[in-house]
Amino acid sequence: MDLFPLWLSLRVALSATALTLVLGIPVALLLARARFAGRGLLEAVVVLPLVLPPTVLGYYLLVVIGSHGPIGRALAAVGLELAFTWWAAVLAASIGSVALLIKSAQAGFETVDRQLEQAARTLGRSEWSVFWSVTLPLAWRAVLAGAVLAFCRALGEFGITLMVAGNIPGRTQTLPLAIYDRVQAAQMDEAHALALIAVGIVVVLVFGLSRVARLRY
């Protein structure tokens, strides 16, 4: 059995989770802490990927990064291509899962008593230092939970990926796409095996998360 889709999916989901952590945590912090005009709008935009049909998201993403899109053309100018590469799959998985990370991390940051951060500031610590020594240590479980959910969601991402990365065996065919392919080809045993692998990974992660959640700080 060809396990390439499994390895690709793990690589894509891990990369997407890393990307959502880097991009999502600042947004979550902003939503949890700052009061600014357009906050409601940002909050709506954040949940949009969860509620829009994935094919719609994929379509617009393709319009932007495709060879005729603004980003696609800019990349082509320096000899790079994004659409229908595994990087496009990473982008698709990130967009599909970033909302889960942001909402979970935001909820975590909101439970951190602001007075603790203020205390840290009066004790001379910079905003950067306050975040790493107080805010994150007190909210890391929520951030981790968000990251695990985002990883699982990224692992299962189908619609957006199909639109922007295609379904190229050995190049962009991820686990969910491979399962779909096997079913189409009536290779039910292989489809079942791949599906079981996906279930196994997710069950282990979610169970592990519930154990971690019981730890103190």
Partner 1 sequence: MVSVEIVKRYPSFALDVRWEAEGAVVGLFGPSGAGKTLTLQCLAGLITPDAGRIVVDERVFLDTAAGVNLPPQARRVGYVFQGYALFPHLSVAENVAYGLRDRPRAARARRVAEVLERLGLAGLERRYPRELSGGQRQRVALGRALAIDPALLLLDEPLSALDAPLRRALRDELREVLAGWGTAAVVVTHDFTEAYRLADRIVVYEDGRVIQAAPRAELLWRPASEAVARIMGLTNVLHGTVQKATPERIQLRWRGQTLEAVNSPTRSYLPPPDSPIAFFVRPEYVRLVRKDRGAPDPLHHMNLMRGLVVGEADFGTVWSLRLRLDAPGPPAQGDFDLEVEVPHLVYEILEISRDRVWEFSIHRGSIHVLPS
The residues of the shown chain that bind partner 1, judged by CB under 8 A, are 113, 115-116, 118-126, 129, 133-134, 137-138, 216-217
Q: Enter the tokens of residue 39.
A: 């906050």
Q: How far is the CB of 157 from partner 1 (least distance, A)?
A: 34
Query: Of the two residues 105 and 152, which places its CB atom closer to partner 1 in the complex?
Result: 105
Diameter over CA atoms, the chain: 66
CB atoms within 10 A of CB 216: 4
d(CA 147, CA 206): 11
Q: How far is the CB of 161 from partner 1 (least distance, A)?
A: 39
Q: How far is the CB of 74 from partner 1 (least distance, A)?
A: 39
Q: Which of 151, 158, 202 is nearest to 181 (CA)?
A: 158
Query: Of the two residues 115 and 210, which places its CB atom closer to partner 1 in the complex?
Result: 115
- The answer to whether 94 and 16 have CB atoms below 8 angstroms apart is yes
Query: Of the two residues 184 and 216, which places its CB atom closer to partner 1 in the complex?
Result: 216
Q: How far is the CB of 172 from partner 1 (least distance, A)?
A: 43
Torsion over CA: 44, 45, 49, 53 (sign): positive
Query: Of the two residues 105 and 201, which places its CB atom closer to partner 1 in the complex?
Result: 105
d(CA 131, CA 137): 8
| Chain-centre distance for alpha carbon 39 | 21
Q: How far is the CB of 145 from partner 1 (least distance, A)?
A: 17
Query: Of the two residues 138 and 193, which places its CB atom closer to partner 1 in the complex?
Result: 138
Q: How far is the CB of 24 from partner 1 (least distance, A)?
A: 22
- The answer to whether 136 and 108 have CB atoms below 8 angstroms apart is no
Query: Of the two residues 53 and 137, which places its CB atom closer to partner 1 in the complex?
Result: 137
Q: Enter the tokens of residue 199.
A: 């279930």
- The answer to whether 8 and 173 have CB atoms below 8 angstroms apart is yes
d(CA 120, CA 124): 7
